[in-house]
Amino acid sequence: MSQLKSLTSLAVAFRDERDWQQFHNAKDLALSLTLEAGEVLELYQWQTGDAIAAVARDRRTDLSDELADVLYYTLLMAHDAGIDLEHALVEKLKKSAAKYPVEKARGTSKKYTELDRT
């Protein structure tokens, strides 16, 4: 079993042992995922310059906890929707590679629709 599948099993078991699946419809999982991602962002709110990089060092536990929450809801959503996240990521990277070829995208933050505009 892959590590991602093992993590999914842990997340599902944690939820199911508490009988929380009844609260975990797709909408509420998506909402929770967004809220947790917002808590990651909140750690960086109002930070500038070197303070941005310092968040990962100085608030490492907070950042770790919030990222774990994001992963938890991601794993549950994928599990409940029958999505193989490993396969989904590989396929998405293939699509992104086609939209962002290295020779055009390397070193730029332009959106793929603007890569040909120079």
Written as six digits, the tokens of 90 are: 């590989």
Among candidate residues 79, 65, 67, 86, the one with its CA nearest the CA of residue 29: 79
Same domain, 106 and 48: no
pLDDT in tens, 2-41: 999 999 999 999 999 999 999 999 999 999 999 999 999 9
Tell me what the mean pLDDT of segment 101-108 comes to.
94
Same domain, 48 and 97: no
Same domain, 40 and 96: no
Tell me what the mean pLDDT of segment 99-113 comes to.
94
Label each residue of 56-89 as H, E or C.
Answer: HHHCHHHHHHHHHHHHHHHHHHHHHHCCCHHHHH
Same domain, 38 and 54: yes
Q: Could you count the other beta carbons within 10 Å of the beta carbon of residue 25? A: 11
Domain CATH for 21: 1.10.287.1080
116 — pLDDT class (breaks 50, 70, 90): confident
DSSP string, the chain: --HHHHHHHHHHHHHHHTT-GGG--HHHHHHHHHHHHHHHHHHHTT--THHHHHHHHHTHHHHHHHHHHHHHHHHHHHHHHT--HHHHHHHHHHHHHHHS-HHHHTT----GGGTT--
Same domain, 73 and 98: no
Same domain, 79 and 90: no
pLDDT in tens, 35-92: 999 999 999 999 999 999 999 999 999 999 999 999 999 999 999 999 999 999 999 9
| pLDDT value at residue 118 | 53
CB 24 within 8 Å of CB 80: yes
Same domain, 15 and 73: yes
Same domain, 78 and 101: no
Domain membership of residue 45 as a residue range: 3-83
Same domain, 61 and 89: no
In this model, does residue 117 exceed pLDDT 80?
no
Same domain, 22 and 55: yes
Same domain, 68 and 114: no
| pLDDT value at residue 105 | 95
